[in-house]
Amino acid sequence: MPTQPSKDLLAVPNPHPGRDYTVTCDTPEFTCLCPLTGQPDFATVRISYVPDQALVELKSLKLYLWSFRNEGGFHEDMTNRILDDLVSAIVPRRITVVTDWLVRGGIHTVVEASHPATP
Amino acid sequence: MPTQPSKDLLAVPNPHPGRDYTVTCDTPEFTCLCPLTGQPDFATVRISYVPDQALVELKSLKLYLWSFRNEGGFHEDMTNRILDDLVSAIVPRRITVVTDWLVRGGIHTVVEASHPATP
Amino acid sequence: MPTQPSKDLLAVPNPHPGRDYTVTCDTPEFTCLCPLTGQPDFATVRISYVPDQALVELKSLKLYLWSFRNEGGFHEDMTNRILDDLVSAIVPRRITVVTDWLVRGGIHTVVEASHPATP
Amino acid sequence: MPTQPSKDLLAVPNPHPGRDYTVTCDTPEFTCLCPLTGQPDFATVRISYVPDQALVELKSLKLYLWSFRNEGGFHEDMTNRILDDLVSAIVPRRITVVTDWLVRGGIHTVVEASHPATP
Amino acid sequence: MPTQPSKDLLAVPNPHPGRDYTVTCDTPEFTCLCPLTGQPDFATVRISYVPDQALVELKSLKLYLWSFRNEGGFHEDMTNRILDDLVSAIVPRRITVVTDWLVRGGIHTVVEASHPATP
Amino acid sequence: MPTQPSKDLLAVPNPHPGRDYTVTCDTPEFTCLCPLTGQPDFATVRISYVPDQALVELKSLKLYLWSFRNEGGFHEDMTNRILDDLVSAIVPRRITVVTDWLVRGGIHTVVEASHPATP
Amino acid sequence: MPTQPSKDLLAVPNPHPGRDYTVTCDTPEFTCLCPLTGQPDFATVRISYVPDQALVELKSLKLYLWSFRNEGGFHEDMTNRILDDLVSAIVPRRITVVTDWLVRGGIHTVVEASHPATP
Amino acid sequence: MPTQPSKDLLAVPNPHPGRDYTVTCDTPEFTCLCPLTGQPDFATVRISYVPDQALVELKSLKLYLWSFRNEGGFHEDMTNRILDDLVSAIVPRRITVVTDWLVRGGIHTVVEASHPATP
Amino acid sequence: MPTQPSKDLLAVPNPHPGRDYTVTCDTPEFTCLCPLTGQPDFATVRISYVPDQALVELKSLKLYLWSFRNEGGFHEDMTNRILDDLVSAIVPRRITVVTDWLVRGGIHTVVEASHPATP
Amino acid sequence: MPTQPSKDLLAVPNPHPGRDYTVTCDTPEFTCLCPLTGQPDFATVRISYVPDQALVELKSLKLYLWSFRNEGGFHEDMTNRILDDLVSAIVPRRITVVTDWLVRGGIHTVVEASHPATP
């Protein structure tokens, strides 16, 4: 099964679109590169959403997260980009993305973004 | 006591229908099959409800959950089907079903559905 | 001090009735009998209330909980009976009773009831 | 530094009275006597307040809590007395006192009181 | 990389100013001096904010927190000063600073301040 | 299945007597009476043994532990009696019984006895 | 990848046979049937071994554990059978199998067997 | 039951002197005074022993530990004195006393002494 | 500081070679590729050693672990290769390497290797 | 009490030199400087020893650990220097010093040294 990393998030039909319900996916297997130093960063990513017409297919989500392995990006930007990509792919009713980064410079950082944004 | 798995959920009378109160049942003993690969999936199931005229009988709930052992189903679909079956069987005032699945492809998934759906 | 189990809950005057405040008592030392099989059941009981004119006296609460040792009762019924008895004995402004039962048939059950019932 | 236990709580000026903010002090080092049996009771005390013009000075708080070492008092009464004393001493905008007592008669008790009382 | 402690907090542009989202930075590496005795105090600092036009640059935040190493200050004052400095530097939409101090005199203290202040 | 409490421990043949291996059974569902006051005591019981020709049958173990529900006994004596009964019933190569009792008089007690006794 | 459950454990060459080292594999995804009642049992399985000439291939181990899904067996027997099968398949220098079973009849059981047996 | 603190530890006959077994008693309810400042100190005490002809009676142990409430003593000395008193009272085969003290001056101290001393 | 991943482990002089002491370094920031599928694997690595004439320099250790980011390797092989590289670089008196891998196929794997090998 | 940091460790007489017993002191309040970058490092220090004729006085230990606040030193060297200083000051029968450092470069380091060295 040597599939490849890919930015293509696959949408599959939501079997219960008549009901608001919540799907949460989290993984500690996220790594990208620091845009300043080129060194690896590591994060746990948690995605929680209320689907409308589509669910995100789990394997494509794995390949999507893998696709950042050799890309650089600041913590805040990464989080919003993942959020934007998921909003485009499955157009959920509500969605929150949280990234929880391993310590850099003695500081532990967590970024949380939602769509629509919580007031 | 070699009883059999069964989709029949048994309703018993609620001894205190005059009061809204909450019953929560959870079990780590849920397993079904992946509809794509046929391989076993495992989940913890938590059911929390405010009964109206009926309670779900505990042993029938056990046999009901057992009945999925050889069935396939996606995580999101399973959760909503369990919710629908419980709503039909005991017609609760409010009910929430949460399924918390063991890791697949490095991703941990939780699905939560309620009736009536939380806005 | 060989006192006896008793259903008599003792009310003592609330020294600060002019203020809403909360008293929480919990104990893992609750056991009764299954009404179907006669076998012992075990639970942790948590009682949380805002007193009005009376507090429940702690030793009488212990003897009261002890009095269920040789009685049978379903989880949901037990919880509501304890709630009713406390409401009668001390007439609190608000009260919640939670019973958290050890696993039976692979299922862990928690029952929570309040007076006045939470909407 | 052999200072003495004292009921005098020292108020010091709040350096930022223009802003609502919260100070929380907790300690597991509280002991008093049971008014019925004379035996020691032990509790963790947590005080959380929004100061107005004054903060409570930390050392005087320590001496104040120490002053209960040889006094008797029921859990509910103790909690309200500590709350009243703090309200008198520093006149906070809001304050909550929680006392969490070690097990007596198999029962664990927690008392929580606020000023102004939460409705 | 022998950079120096500094009170200059560096603001960098927020790449997603169109959306309310939250950045949380926490570190157990904060130490300052007690203004009364000159002895070291230690705290965990947690900063959580919704950025407007600017983010706080992580390395400058580290150098900023380091700059308190040889300064004295009461817990409540320190917390409000850090809050004020961050508000000045990045003008966030909302921000909360929490300082959680190691035990002194048997008492554990936590201070939490927000801008705008929570009512 | 309304079976009765019983002191009869049932031995079943060990299917692998040619190998030393360990079976551990623990349960938080043990209660007996205090021989001084008649009040209930509660304990977690853990039994760990290397079988010789026999295993202890699980249901008979449950009924055996249940049989202490209305008996009095000191913690140390109870532990040794359970050990002696198990040694008589299944003649294990080695066995340890641990009883871990809920707090009485502010003191938490654990008793551990082995056969043959560890030197 | 719809592979099938199988009792065939695949041995692969140990790349470092010159050194004693330890490989530990554990999974909470083990389920079989109770030989008395036909109802499902669930366990966590932990295998720890020092390889000689062969390692156990991970995917074949997964399929092997899956093969018990519809088989009956007592806890003690299951554990020794898994141990025997692994000893036959990879002939390790030392190996321990632990099975940790979900509660039945209020009792939690763990079985541990080693080859060669620990004295 | 207003009994008094007392240094008299009561010995009761060991019902199973023919076997080496272990009794462990621990309590977080120990307080004494600092011999330098007169301020209260707090500790958890754990006593673990193999009895010979006598057990320590639990209530007398509680009164004994209470008797230190108004006495001063350094941590190391307290621990050895408790050990000596228990050795005198019940002449155990082996005994260990551990005292675990709440933080003073930022330092957490634990003292452990055994009789006969472990080499 | 955009340094590069490198297999060169830097040895620095041990300032206290006259004494056996232990240095432990662990990090959750290890990732490599599965040699079968090319997909990323993730592990926590723990290295514990008694130095002889040299210590491993921390930054070179970070760059060394980074160097596996785009390499494939089985869990058992990776662990032994890291061990061999460290033995070559700093010739320690004793060393243990543990790799703890995130779940694959429902199975959690840990590999532990030492030099000289523990018998 | 504005005492000053000092390298002078004060020895006080051991009140029970006839018995081997253990004193453990630990504190999370240790900070020094990195000798390469000048930036602060933070560690928890744990000291465990069997005293001979002397105990280390607790306040002098606090001032001693404080004295490293503005000194640079590598983790391994710091640990051995603290050990050497304690051996000189109180000449214990046995002593172990453990330093547990906050993460640098993604790596968590612990150093443990004993006197006499454990073989």
Per DSSP, the residues of F63-83 read HHHHTTTT-B--HHHHHHHHH
Return the amino acid letter for I7.
K
Is B1 a residue whose pLDDT tops 80? no
Is A105 a residue whose pLDDT tops 60? yes
Is I63 a residue whose pLDDT tops 90? yes
Q: Name the residue facing E20 among A74, A110, A119 (closest C-beta).
A: A119
Residues of C within 8 A of B21 (CB-CB) are 76, 79-80, 111-114, 117
Burial of E103 (0-12, 13-18, 19+ CB in 10 A): buried
Q: Answer whether C94 touches B (CB < 8 Å).
A: no
Share of chain E above pLDDT 70, in %: 97
Give residue A102's pLDDT band: very low, low, confident or very high (50, 70, 90).
Answer: very high
Is B59 a residue whose pLDDT tops 90? yes
Instruction: For residues F23-42, give the mean pLDDT.
Output: 96
D76 φ/ψ angles, rounded to the nearest 5 degrees: -65, -40
Determine contact, residues D67/D81, Cβ cutoff 8 Å: no
Which residues touch A26 (CB under 8 Å, ≥6 apart)?
A: A44, A45, A46, A47, B107, B108
Given the structure tokens 């075990």, which residue do they identify?
Answer: C42
F/I Cβ contact: 3+ pairs below 8 Å: no
Q: Which two tokens stand for residue H23?
A: 């009794």
Question: Where do the H-state alpha helices sit in chain A?
Answer: 58-66, 75-90
Write out pLDDT tens, residues D35-92: 999 999 999 999 999 999 999 999 999 999 999 999 999 999 999 999 999 999 999 9
Catalytic residue of the set H20, H32, H41, H52: H41
* Most C-contacting residue of F27, F42, F68 (CB-CB within 10 A), to test interface: F42
Q: Name the residue facing I113 among G19, G29, G55 (closest C-beta).
A: G19
Which one has a higher pLDDT value, G30 or D117?
Answer: G30
Measured in angstroms, the CA of J109 and the nearest CA of chain E are apart by: 16
Residue J3 pLDDT: 78
Instruction: For residues C35-63, give the mean pLDDT.
Output: 97
* Most C-contacting residue of F29, F33, F60 (CB-CB within 10 A), to test interface: F29
Instruction: For residues I70-87, give the mean pLDDT.
Output: 97
Given the structure tokens 């390790």, which residue do they identify?
Answer: G92
Element (H, E) at G88: helix G75-90
Determine contact, residues J79/J112, Cβ cutoff 8 Å: yes
Q: How many CA atoms are closer than 13 Å to the CA of J81, on its beta-carbon side?
A: 14
Residues of C within 8 A of D79 (CB-CB) are 21
Which residues touch J37 (CB under 8 Å, ≥6 apart)?
A: E1, E2, E3
Residue E119 pLDDT: 62
Instruction: For residues E68-78, give the mean pLDDT.
Output: 96
Give residue A1's pLDDT band: very low, low, confident or very high (50, 70, 90).
Answer: very low
Residue F119 pLDDT: 62
Q: Name the residue facing H102 among D28, D66, D102 (closest C-beta).
A: D28
Cβ of I62 within 8 Å of Cβ of J106? The answer is yes
Is H1 a residue whose pLDDT tops 50? no
Residue G30 DSSP code? E
Rg of chain E over Cα atoms, rounded to whole angstroms, equals 15
Cβ of H62 within 8 Å of Cβ of F112? The answer is no
Residues of H within 8 A of E103 (CB-CB) are 103, 106
Q: Which two tokens stand for residue G99?
A: 């099975």
Tell me the domain boundaries of chain D: 11-115
Q: Answer whether H14 touches F (CB < 8 Å).
A: yes
CATH 3.40.1440.10 for the J21-115 domain, yes or no? no
Q: Which chains touch H (3 or more CB pairs under 8 A)?
A: D, E, F, J
Which residues touch E7 (CB under 8 Å, ≥6 apart)?
A: E64, E67, E85
Give residue J119's pLDDT band: very low, low, confident or very high (50, 70, 90).
Answer: low
Residues of I within 8 A of B103 (CB-CB) are 103, 106
Residue I97 DSSP code? E
Cβ of E76 within 8 Å of Cβ of D55? The answer is yes
Handedness of CA D49, D53, D59, D61 (dihedral sign): negative
Residue J1 pLDDT: 47
- Known catalytic residues of J? 34, 41
CATH 1.10.10.10 for the D11-115 domain, yes or no? no
Q: Between residues 22 and 61 of chain F, which touch chain D (CB distance below 8 Å)?
A: 42
Q: Answer whether F92 touches G (CB < 8 Å).
A: no
Cβ of G51 within 8 Å of Cβ of I76? The answer is yes
Residue C119 pLDDT: 62
Which residues touch D40 (CB under 8 Å, ≥6 apart)?
A: D31, D32, D33, D34, H29, H31, H66, H69
Instruction: For residues H45-74, give the mean pLDDT.
Output: 97
- The ipTM value here is 0.95
Is D95 a residue whose pLDDT tops 80? yes
Q: For G5, which residue in chain B has the nearest alpha carbon? A: B39
What CATH class does E20-115 carry? Answer: alpha beta
Across the F:G interface, residue pairs with CB atoms under 8 Å apart total: 57
I/H Cβ contact: 3+ pairs below 8 Å: no
Given the structure tokens 């530097």, which residue do they identify?
Answer: E89
Q: Which chains touch D (3 or more CB pairs under 8 A)?
A: C, E, F, H
Is I17 a residue whose pLDDT tops 60? yes
Is B117 a residue whose pLDDT tops 90? no
Cβ of E37 within 8 Å of Cβ of J69? The answer is no
C38 φ/ψ angles, rounded to the nearest 5 degrees: 80, 0
Share of chain I above pLDDT 90, in %: 93
Handedness of CA I88, I92, I95, I99 (dihedral sign): negative
Write out pLDDT tens, residues A57-87: 999 999 999 999 999 999 999 999 999 999 9
Determine contact, residues F72/F34, Cβ cutoff 8 Å: yes
Nearest CA to C67 out of C48, C81, C49, C87 is that of C81
Measured in angstroms, the CA of D62 and the nearest CA of chain E are apart by: 7
CA distance linking residue F43 with residue F46, whole number of Å: 10
Low-confidence ranges of chain G (pLDDT < 50): 1-2
Q: For D41, which residue in chain F has the nearest alpha carbon? A: F106
Is I9 a residue whose pLDDT tops 50? yes
Q: How far is CA G117 from CA F41, F50, G73, G84, in A?
A: 39, 11, 22, 12
Q: How far is CA C57 from CA B74, C23, C61, C90, J50, in A?
A: 53, 12, 6, 10, 49
Catalytic residue of the set I25, I34, I52, I85: I34
Measured in angstroms, the CA of J15 and the nearest CA of chain I are apart by: 30
Cβ of I115 within 8 Å of Cβ of G19? The answer is yes
How does the average pLDDT of chain B come out, rounded?
A: 95
Share of chain H above pLDDT 90, in %: 92
Is C2 a residue whose pLDDT tops 90? no
Which residues touch G81 (CB under 8 Å, ≥6 apart)?
A: G73
∠ CA I88-I92-I94, nearest 5°, is 120
A/I Cβ contact: 3+ pairs below 8 Å: yes
CA distance linking residue H89 with residue H14, whole number of Å: 13
Long-range CB pairs of H79-88, under 8 A, 24+ apart, other chains included: H79/H111, H79/H112, H79/H113, H79/J21, H80/H113, H80/J15, H80/J16, H80/J19, H80/J21, H82/H45, H82/H47, H83/H113, H83/H114, H83/H115, H85/H7, H85/H9, H86/H9, H86/H47, H86/H49, H86/H56, H87/H115
Return the amino acid letter for E116.
P
CA distance linking residue G92 with residue G56, whole number of Å: 10
Is D118 a residue whose pLDDT tops 60? yes
Q: For F36, which residue in chain C has the nearest alpha carbon? A: C2
Across the A:J interface, residue pairs with CB atoms under 8 Å apart total: 9
Long-range CB pairs of C69-73, under 8 A, 24+ apart, other chains included: C69/C5, C69/C31, C69/C32, C69/F40, C70/C32, C70/C33, C71/C32, C71/C33, C72/C32, C72/C33, C72/C34, C72/C35, C72/C38, C73/C32, C73/C33, C73/C35
Residue B3 pLDDT: 79
Q: How far is CA B21 from CA B38, C76, H113, in A?
A: 40, 9, 53
Give residue C1's pLDDT band: very low, low, confident or very high (50, 70, 90).
Answer: very low
Q: Which chains touch G (3 or more CB pairs under 8 A)?
A: B, C, F, I
Instruction: For residues J32-43, give the mean pLDDT.
Output: 95
Q: Which chains touch J (3 or more CB pairs under 8 A)?
A: A, E, H, I
CATH 3.30.1130.10 for the G22-115 domain, yes or no? yes
Cβ of D112 within 8 Å of Cβ of C29? The answer is no
Determine contact, residues F22/F48, Cβ cutoff 8 Å: yes
Nearest CA to G111 out of B66, G101, G103 is that of G101
Q: How many CA atoms are closer than 13 Å to the CA of J47, on its beta-carbon side?
A: 26
Told to judge if G41 belongs to the known catalytic residues of this protein, a careful annotator would answer yes
Q: For B57, which residue in chain C has the nearest alpha carbon? A: C74
Structurally, at CATH architecture level, domain I19-115 sits in 2-Layer Sandwich (3.30)
Nearest CA to D65 out of D22, D115, D3, D1 is that of D3
- Number of Cβ within 10 Å of residue C8's Cβ equals 10
Measured in angstroms, the CA of B117 and the nearest CA of chain G are apart by: 32
Cα I114 from chain centroid (whole Å): 11
Residues of C within 8 A of B54 (CB-CB) are none
CA distance linking residue I59 with residue F80, whole number of Å: 57
Per DSSP, the residues of chain D read ------S-PPEEE-S-TTS-EEEEEEEEEEEEE-TTT--EEEEEEEEEEE-SSEEE-HHHHHHHHHTTTT-B--HHHHHHHHHHHHHHHH--SEEEEEEEEEEETTEEEEEEEEESPP-
Cα B92 from chain centroid (whole Å): 13
Residues of D within 8 A of E106 (CB-CB) are 27-29, 62
Told to judge if I34 belongs to the known catalytic residues of this protein, a careful annotator would answer yes
Determine contact, residues H35/H70, Cβ cutoff 8 Å: no
D85 φ/ψ angles, rounded to the nearest 5 degrees: -60, -40
B/G Cβ contact: 3+ pairs below 8 Å: yes
How does the average pLDDT of chain I come out, rounded?
A: 95
Given the structure tokens 């927690």, which residue do they identify?
Answer: D110
Residue A117 pLDDT: 82
Instruction: For residues A10-33, give the mean pLDDT.
Output: 97
